[in-house]
Amino acid sequence: MGDTYFTHEFADNVLVSWKGWLGRAARLYANGRDMKDPQLSPIYGDFHDLPPAILTSGTRDLFLSNTVRVHRKLRQAGVEALLQVFEGQSHAQYYADPFGPETIDYHSEVARFLDAHLAP
C-alpha cells in the first residue's frame, strides 16, 4: 500500500480515506483472497512484455504513490510508460468537468499516446 493512502487521507475528495468505503469495497472485492494476489493488485504481478502504458493521477489522489509504483515497475520491466500527474486533483477528478482544462489536457494526452502506439 502506498504512502498516499495515509498522507492524502481527506485531501482526496473522491476516494477520501482507505478507512471508509474504499477499504471495505476492496475487501469485499477480494472476497477473502490475499490482497497481494496479482489478479487483485497488479503491482504484485509480472510487468514484462506488457504493451506501452499511460498512467494518470493527481497530487491529491489516494492512489498517487501506487500509480508512481506501477510506473516505476513498468519502466524497470522495460515497458514504455508515460506518467501524467495533475496538480491539485483528487482521484479521477478531471472527469468532474468535461470542459475543465484538466479534462481537456487528459484527453489530449491520451489521444497523443494512442496515436503514437496504435497502428493506423
* Averaged pLDDT for residues 83-92: 92
Is the pLDDT score of 104 beyond 80?
yes
CA distance 91 to 43: 18
CA distance 74 to 81: 7
Name the CATH architecture for the domain at 4-117. Answer: 3-Layer(aba) Sandwich (3.40)
CA distance 94 to 79: 26
Report percent pLDDT > 70 for the chain: 100
Is the pLDDT score of 120 beyond 80?
no
Integer CA distances (angstroms), 19 to 31, 33, 53, 55, 92, in order: 17, 19, 30, 25, 19
CA distance 14 to 111: 25
Q: 96 falls in which pLDDT band (50, 70, 90)?
A: confident
Is the pLDDT score of 1 beyond 80?
no
CA distance 26 to 55: 20
**pLDDT tens column, 38-80:** 999 989 999 999 999 999 999 999 999 999 999 999 999 999 9
118 Cβ partners below 8 Å, 6+ apart? none
